[in-house]
Structures are given as structure tokens and as C-alpha cells.
Chain A
Amino acid sequence: MSNRVLTILIPIISVLLGLIVGAIVMSVSGFNPIEGYGALIKGAVGDSFYLGETIRQITPYIFAGLAVAFAFRTGLFNIGVEGQLLVGWTASVWVGLAFDLPKIIHLPMAVLAGALAGALWAFIPGILKARLRVHEVIVTIMMNYIALHFVNYLIRYVISDEQNTTERVPESASLKSPLLETLTDYSTLHYGIFLALAGAIVFWVILEKTTSGFELRSVGLNQHASEYAGMNVNRNIVLSMVISGAFAGLAGAMEGLGTFGYGFIHDSFSGVGFDGIAVALLGGNIAIGVVLAAALFGILKQGALIMPLESGVPTELVEIVIAIIIFFVASSYIIAYLLRRFKKGAN
């Protein structure tokens, strides 16, 4: 069986296995899996309102998935998307509140502020990895928590006047779209989805069509060979983390300027950044894969919200399904092995 077929089959099998395990968990705990999944589908795409909410949910997932995937392609594991997302969220809201400009300048500025903040937050693990060979996994995890506490401090004492939330960003910096809201029966769908899809195209262009993209991928495949070929490995490591962080910051800007329209004190993480790891893995770290995986996770997450009401199944079922999917994608070696055995047996 060729590798190309395997790269498509493994995610599909993993998703199926995840859904099967979810069905077993539902049955064992006394729920009807068909009702449960029926409710999930209805809650995700059942009518235009739910569809709007689902697409809105997919938006940050695309950016978070692109962030993780971009770093992966250079051989780096950015677990810090969650933290970069939070600083991006806060920076975009801050710029949204601090200035009074026409929309054509203000909105791009606020969105870019989110990307810049995320990039800056990811620069630290990047430079530490490049200069001092410090493992980026640990640094990015630690940076997540620093971001959480730092952002909460900013929101309470700097951006707001000791409040738990900031003011709403003005219309001139908002991604909210009355048109899309009306079309989807007043869901919270905003313009961000177009930015996310554009982001996926930018991701593809950078990696596949530019010289630096070639270098970034090359470093991811073999650092020593890249160095021998005259590439600056350290520069590429920093660049990869910075671009990855910018995507993560954009995910935050989508939440700050679109979904919520303000910043607030977080007791714990939003979860979008961690889900981004699952999105990237399932999407095989390529642009189209990330968009498809983000769509699946958006459907699962949004559909889960209606499950308790319709079928009594707790929303956390979806967390279990996602965990199992990640588990099997990560264990792709064993799936590939079994598939090959199976194929051999058939011959």
C-alpha cells in the first residue's frame, strides 16, 4: 500500500475509531449512541443558526491548526498556541479600544496587532531553541501559563479599570457582520471565516511556493542536510516559530474582534489552542487537511452543545472522541502496520 493512500486512510480510520469508541462509551453509560450522534449532527448543521455557529467555531480552529502545522513542518512542536492565542486576543482588543480610526485602517491594524503579539510570544521559544537548544515543547507549555496570568493582569489593571471584562471593541475594529448574522438566523457568525480561509492559502503559498518555505520544510526534514546545503538552520527555526505564533495570534484576534468582541479574565485556557494540535495532526499538517480537520472539530464541538438537551449525553463525550482520534493518529505506525498485514492477507 502506497504512502499516499496511507496518509489519507489513517486519518479517516482514526476518526471512525474515535466515533466507535464514543458510541461504546455512550452505550456503556446507558445512552443511545444513535440518538446521541443524531443530536450532535442536528446541533452542528441542523438549521441555519446552528450552521452559522459551527462555521464561527471552525474559524479559530483553522488558524490554531495552521499554527501548529506550520511549526510541525519545520520539525518544531508548538504547544504554545494557547498562550499565543491569548496574547493575540488581548492585543487585538487593546488596539481596537485604544484608537479611533476609520474602519479601513482600524480593523486591519487590530487584526495585525493580534498576529504580531502571537508572533512575539512565539519568538521567545524560537530564539531559545535556535541559540541555546532549549526544547521548545517545555518552553511553549510554560509560556502558556505565563500568558494566562499576564493577560489577566493586563485586562484587569491596564485595559479595563479593575473589571473582569474589557469594553466592547467599536464598530470600526469589529469583525462582526450584520449580513452574515441575518443570513444565519442571528448566529454569531462573523467575517473571520474568510480571513481563516485566506490564511490557509497563505500557509500553502509560503510553504510550497517560496524559497523560504522550501528552506523551512527542508530544515524540518533534515537539519544536518539543510545546514550542509548552506541554509541557516537557526534563522529558519526562529522564522517558523514566529509565523506559527502569528497564525495563533490571528486565532485569538478572531475571538477578540469577532466571536466575543471584547477580552475577559480567563480562569483557564480557551482550549482552542490545544484542539489546534489535534486539528493539525488529523489534517496531516497541510493546508487543505487543516481546513477539513478544523471543519470536523467545529462540527463535533458545536454539535456537542446541543447533545445534553436532545439526548441527555454530556458534551464531554466529544472530548473523549477527540482524545481517541489524537491517540490513533499518533499511533499511525500500528494502523499502517495492520493495514499492510490486512492487504497482504487479501492477496
Chain B
Amino acid sequence: MDIVSAFEILVKSMLFASAPLILTALGGVFSERSGVVNIGLEGLMVIGAFAAVVFNLTFASTFGAATPWVALLAAMGIGGLFSLIHAVASITFRANQVVSGVAINFLAVGLGVFLVKAWYGAGQTAKIPVPMYYTQIPILSDIPVIGPMFFNNYLTSYLAIIVAIIAWFVLFKTPFGLRLRSVGEHPLAADTMGINVFKMRYIAVFISGVLGGLGGGVYAQTISQDFSGGTITGQGFIALAAVIFGKWHPLGAMGAALFFGLAQSLAIIGGSFPLLSDVPNWALLSAPYILTILALAGFIGRADAPKAIGTPYIKGKR
């Protein structure tokens, strides 16, 4: 394989491997910026993947070619609803948010596989009839070298980048975003200024469910194309790593997710690159995690969490 075609495969697989990570990480940014830890991203992806696959299998004849896109809407809806369990536990019931997130992860896999077995009689669904396909972007994909490299991919890869820009705008350029961030930094002050802390946190967790569900739906319809207990194995935690590595910033999270997507692609096809063939596979697979630890430790720029993260807000308590 010559270096240009190897590079092309690398960029392509980076773009499609990172799309679900970007979307889910953005969900994590919303939740954590409002002060609610979301270890449950993994579970939200699982439930999104489950919803998308079941929808695709059931309604393929009704919606035809549009099925994957409608299935994504279903995944977003179910993901949003599912995240409300985490919201109720961690905001209203003042549960330990990490524990509640762990419960979400258990519940998503348990419920998903349970229902698949109850409905389809097997631990794994059939392949979805209408998966997503590569789309050539008109005009742009005709540019030599760069065109086929960047502009012939799943539309969801571009969607993820667009959503990241929208998320940045919403969080940093709108009053809503300012309020959301303020309840994550200093809920008491925000409350004093008339912001409804509980409402903002519920909305933020709901958004994280919608985006996590979307991420899972994208993963299921582009990469795995079916659903089982082993469909989502750690992608949600890589997304969580991207949230932190990206310093709780939407564009940072996007950059981190792209980078982690690249690391994953390298682990698969790194052997074709002369320099990387000496790096053991486990190091490339572990790269996102090792880098996140280094970032947290302050070796790669300090990563500071929102101040009020992890603490339930109790009205009237100082």
C-alpha cells in the first residue's frame, strides 16, 4: 500500500469512527457543564444503538431509504427519555451521580439484551436492512487527493462536526448556555439570580441523553449494523475521556474525539505505516485512555472540571 492510499483510508476511518464519539461526548459536555457527572454515557449509547436497530428492523418497509434517519430520531427520543432516570436520581433524589451513572450502564445493557431476546429469540438481532452508506459530497469530492479523502464518507460524520459547532454556539453564545454553565459552576449564585437550577440540570441531562442516543444510533447504523450485548464496548467511556481531554469544551471534545477516532483507526491499520508498525497494538488501543490520564495530571495542559460537578443542589443550604 502506498502512503497516499494508506493515508486516505486512515482519514476516512478516523472520520467515521469518531462521529459517534463526537456526538456522545457533546452530550457529556452538556450534562457535566450543568454540574451533573455522566458516567452513564456508555449506557445512553447502548440504548440509542438498541433503539435505532430495532426501529430500522421494524420500519424499513415503511420508510424505505429514509429509515436510518428516522431511526436516529427514535434513538434520540429513547436516549432522552432514558437519561431522565439519571436526572431524577442525581438531581431530585440527590443520589451519588457516579453510582447512578453506573446503574444506567447496567440497566441499558440489561434492558437492551433482555428485550432483544424476548422479541427476536436470540441474543443478537439480524443485520439491519437499510444501513447508512457513504455519500459523495457533490463538487467537493471532485477535488484531487483531498476530495476522496475528506468528502466521501457517512453524512453522519459531517453531522457530528456541525452539531459540535452548534453546541459551542449554544453553550457559549446564548443566554441559555450561560445559565447552563452557571448552574454547573455556582448553583447557589445562579439560583439567587433567578435561574431554576433543577430545570437547567434536567434539560442538560436530557440533552446528553438525546446526543448519547444519537451517538449510539449512528454507531449501530454505520459500524456495527446490528445490536447485541457486545455492540457498544467502551465507546461511551472513550466519549467521556474526550469530554475531559477536550476540557469540557464542545470544540475541544470534538477535537479529542477525532483524535481518539484516529488512534482507533491506527490500531487497526497502523501496520501499513513504517514508523508505527513498531508500536505495540495495545499502546495504540490504550492511547485515548493514557492521554486522558496525562491530561488530567496536568502534563498536557490542565483539565479543570466545572466547580459544582458531582454535588446535588439542595435549595436553602449553603
Contacts and interface: CB of A to CB of B under 8 A. Distances in A.
A11 B240 CA distance: 30
Contacts of A317: 110, 114
A146 B292 contact: no
A141 interface: yes
**B111, B233, B244, B293, most chain A CB atoms within 10 A:** B293
Interface string B38-57: 01000000000000000000
B106 A322 contact: yes
A149 B285 contact: yes
A333 B118 contact: no
B99 A139 contact: no
Main secondary structure of the interface of A (DSSP, over half): helix
Contacts of A316: 109-111, 113-114, 117, 229
Name the prevailing secondary structure of the B interface residues: helix
B93 A143 contact: no
A99 interface: no
A77 B310 CA distance: 13
B118 A330 contact: no
A305 interface: no
Contacts, number: 140
Interface string A236-279: 00000000000000000000000000000001100000100110
Interface stretch (A56-64, A100-108, A129-137, A201-209): A129-137
Interface string B82-104: 00010001001111101110111
A253 to B, nearest CB: 22
Given A145-B237, A320-B111, A274 B106 contact: yes
Contacts of B237: 141-142, 145
Given A320-B114, A323-B106, A330-B100, 5 more contacts: A137-B37, A142-B237, A319-B111, A324-B107, A331-B95
21 contacts: A25-B114, A139-B293, A142-B241, A142-B290, A143-B289, A149-B281, A150-B282, A268-B230, A268-B234, A274-B106, A277-B99, A277-B102, A316-B109, A317-B114, A324-B103, A326-B102, A327-B103, A330-B93, A330-B103, A331-B89, A331-B94
Interface of A: 25, 29-31, 77, 79, 124, 128, 132, 134-135, 137-139, 141-143, 145-146, 149-150, 152-153, 267-268, 274, 277-278, 281, 308, 314, 316-320, 322-324, 326-327, 329-334
Interface of B: 37, 39, 85, 89, 92-96, 98-100, 102-107, 109-111, 113-115, 117-118, 229-230, 233-234, 237, 240-241, 244, 280-282, 285-286, 289-290, 292-293, 296-298, 305
